Structure 1
Amino acid sequence: MPESKELNEEFLLQSKERSVESIARSMNYNGIPLSTGRIYGSLYFSNRPLTLDELKEDLQMSKTSMSTGVRYLLDMRAVKKVLKKGERKDLYQFKDDWYQSFADMFAERWKHVSDMNIEELNESKEELLTLREESPEEEIRKEADHLLKKVEYAIEYYDWLAEIAEVFESGQIFEMIPKPSLKKAP
């Protein structure tokens, strides 16, 4: 019988590792490092909050990588720090609502990209407006006007992306596309 128990434990471990890797790859497709996705997956499949040391041991990662990944997940509001009486080390736990965690994570990234690009595009817009008004050469003014239209279109796009991020972050997305009946992770 011990061989059967060992075999079953091995199947459980393989299934968990495959599932963690699946989550990590999915997150990586969306720009999140694989190592951070593994931390997220490991916390998701854990039955209790984990310390950095426990995560390090489970994932065979350096403490620096672990700390960076956890900090990223905290910033993205995908995991939370929990307190446990008598425990001196920080504990981290998966947030129960995967849907809102996804919305928060990607809303934050979309807002960051939008803000950064809008700022740079507005600088280009000002330069092109000045060039269009002050250049003595007709061809340069026409090209500046052509580029200005493209820059304004790009600004509109990033404004729209920021609005989408707000719809996700505020939870309005779930009014448009309701969550399935199982709203929290088991």
Structure 2
Amino acid sequence: MKEHDRLAKTRSMVIDAIAQNMHLYGITPSAGRLYGLLFFSDKPLTLDEMKEELGMSKTSMSNSVRSLLDLNMVEKVWVKGERKDLYSIRDDWYQVFFDYFTIRWRTAITMNSTAMEKSISKLNELIDDPNTTEAVREQALTDMKKLQERLDYYDWQNRLLDSFETKDILNFVPIEKKND
């Protein structure tokens, strides 16, 4: 086997693994292959270059790039004299990790918290209504307690995400391994 083929095979193993695990980020395996291609590329690539290398349709390529851009895993790069958009991966994997979780988790936290806060407001109205039976009032109070506990949990998650954004988390889990 030629050296170049051996190198391509080792890269392919990594790209395949990345592609298989991209579902963790909520994106397709084809976006994972694109990410792997950009990871091993020595230079930023155009959509046409990526399309040619991966044999993907232009639509699939555009969707994959957009998904990776939305997650801050890929960035547009400007090169003097180049008229086409160029893309490369973001080299700071730690920041990519922080961005991913803050983007995804904050969206979910906000959506759930908003629904729960509205529900608590409606439950308060139900509890204060003189026509509400005691059984329904007790269930509403139980529901409110459950929802408040969940809101406390979401508050903790937001503070965790704040520590990602400020990088305070690195005071507790440093990037460099400690030597034992």
TM range (shorter): 0.7 to 0.9
Letter matched to residue 153 of structure 1: E
Alignment-derived partner of residue 90 in structure 2: 95
Alignment-derived partner of residue 6 in structure 2: 11
Distance apart, 1:19 and its partner CA: 0.4
Give the Cα–Cα distance (whole angstroms) in 2 for the partners of residues 59 and 85 of structure 1.
Answer: 26
Kept in 1, the 8 Å contact 2:27–2:67? The answer is no
Give the Cα–Cα distance (whole angstroms) in 2 for the partners of residues 23 and 180 of structure 1.
Answer: 23
TM-score, normalised via structure 2 length: 0.88
Distance apart, 1:89 and its partner CA: 0.8
Kept in 2, the 8 Å contact 1:40–1:94? The answer is yes
Give the Cα–Cα distance (whole angstroms) in 2 for the partners of residues 37 and 25 of structure 1.
Answer: 7
Q: What are structure 1's unaligned runs of at least 5 residues? A: 182-186
Alignment-derived partner of residue 33 in structure 2: 38
Alignment-derived partner of residue 142 in structure 1: 138
Aligned in 2, Cα 1:41/1:172: closer, same or farther, shift over 3 Å?
farther
Mapping of 1:173-184 within 5 angstroms? 173-180=169-176
Q: Does 1:83 align with 2:78?
A: yes
Give the Cα–Cα distance (whole angstroms) in 2 for the partners of residues 66 and 50 of structure 1.
Answer: 12
Alignment-derived partner of residue 159 in structure 1: 155
Kept in 2, the 8 Å contact 1:108–1:165? The answer is no
Give the Cα–Cα distance (whole angstroms) in 2 for the partners of residues 21 and 163 of structure 1.
Answer: 35
Greater shift in the superposed pair: 87-96 or 8-17: 8-17
Q: What are structure 2's unaligned runs of at least 5 residues? A: none
Q: Does 1:115 align with 2:101?
A: no
Kept in 2, the 8 Å contact 1:82–1:92? The answer is yes
CA RMSD, Structure 1 to Structure 2 (Å)? 1.8
Identity %: 43
Give the Cα–Cα distance (whole angstroms) in 1 for the partners of residues 26 and 66 of structure 2.
Answer: 16
Q: Secondary structure at the match of 2:75?
A: strand
Q: Does 1:130 align with 2:125?
A: yes
Distance apart, 1:31 and its partner CA: 2.8
Aligned in 2, Cα 1:98/1:160: closer, same or farther, shift over 3 Å?
same
Greater shift in the superposed pair: 164-173 or 143-152: 164-173
Give the Cα–Cα distance (whole angstroms) in 1 for the partners of residues 68 and 112 of structure 2.
Answer: 23
Q: Match for 2:44 among 42, 49, 53? A: 49
Q: Secondary structure at the match of 1:136?
A: coil
Q: Secondary structure at the match of 1:93?
A: strand
